[in-house]
């Protein structure tokens, strides 16, 4: 009976090792992934991918591993806790306990993210997207063509005066609206005819015909 349990535990750890290898190779130079075999705490490290801490396969379990061995009720997942590599680099770590069918911790999968690599990038991105707090509430400009924005507003206002929306106006209403825009000088702006056509739901040629 015990032989079957040992085989089942070993199978579970081998499957978890595949995950450790895949995760480490997905984040080269950034995230160390370590699989601890808690059945042998003195030589717990079963696999270490993307080695950032300098540890080796066969090294002993960490304090978290020993805590899980001592207490089956220890949390299964300890996530995003601050840590530090031996050379002083800051890290963000997550430790995942692996239980067998009997509810015993037999392994732990640990991820150690090298925060020192990301910090300069984070700072650069923060500076890049930062805006002046003095003008945060009221935008100083809209990053669209000013003439097009004014034209759209004029079309909507003229349509409202005629009791509808630009597209809901009848043929005569649209013709009168276009002639008013033409009289007010809106056709001097770039791509005005196409913008008006899109707003009215007609062709560009129709817009030009309405101006006659």
State pTM to two decimals. 0.58
Measured CA to CA, the distance from residue 9 to residue 137 in angstroms comes to 59
Helix residue ranges, H only, 39-189? 63-70, 115-129, 146-161, 171-183
Query: How would you write the pLDDT of the chain (212 residues) with one tens digit per residue?
Result: 467 788 999 999 999 999 999 999 998 888 999 999 999 999 999 999 999 999 999 999 998 899 999 998 999 999 999 998 888 888 999 999 999 999 999 999 999 999 887 767 666 666 666 655 554 555 444 444 547 778 888 898 898 888 888 888 999 999 999 999 988 888 877 678 888 998 999 998 999 999 88
């Amino acid at each position: 009976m015990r032989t079957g349990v040992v085989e089942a535990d070993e199978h579970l750890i081998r499957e978890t090792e595949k995950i450790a290898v895949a995760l480490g190779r997905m984040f080269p130079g950034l995230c160390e992934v370590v699989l601890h075999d808690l059945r042998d705490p003195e030589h717990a490290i079963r696999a270490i991918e993307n080695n950032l801490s300098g540890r080796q396969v066969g090294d002993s379990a960490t304090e978290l591993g020993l805590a899980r061995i001592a207490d089956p009720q220890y949390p299964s997942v300890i996530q995003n806790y601050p840590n530090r590599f031996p050379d002083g680099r800051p890290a963000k770590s997550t430790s995942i306990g692996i239980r067998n069918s009997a509810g015993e911790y037999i392994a732990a999968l640990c991820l150690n993210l090298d925060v020192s690599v990301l910090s300069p990038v984070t700072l650069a991105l923060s500076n890049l997207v930062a805006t002046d707090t003095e003008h945060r509430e009221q935008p100083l400009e809209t990053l669209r063509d000013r003439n097009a924005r004014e034209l759209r507003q004029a079309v909507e206002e003229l349509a409202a005066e005629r009791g509808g929306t630009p597209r809901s106006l009848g043929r005569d209403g649209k013709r009168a609206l276009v002639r008013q825009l033409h009289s007010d000088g809106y056709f001097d702006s770039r791509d005005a005819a196409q913008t008006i056509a899109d707003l009215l739901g007609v062709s560009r040629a129709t817009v030009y015909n309405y101006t006659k």
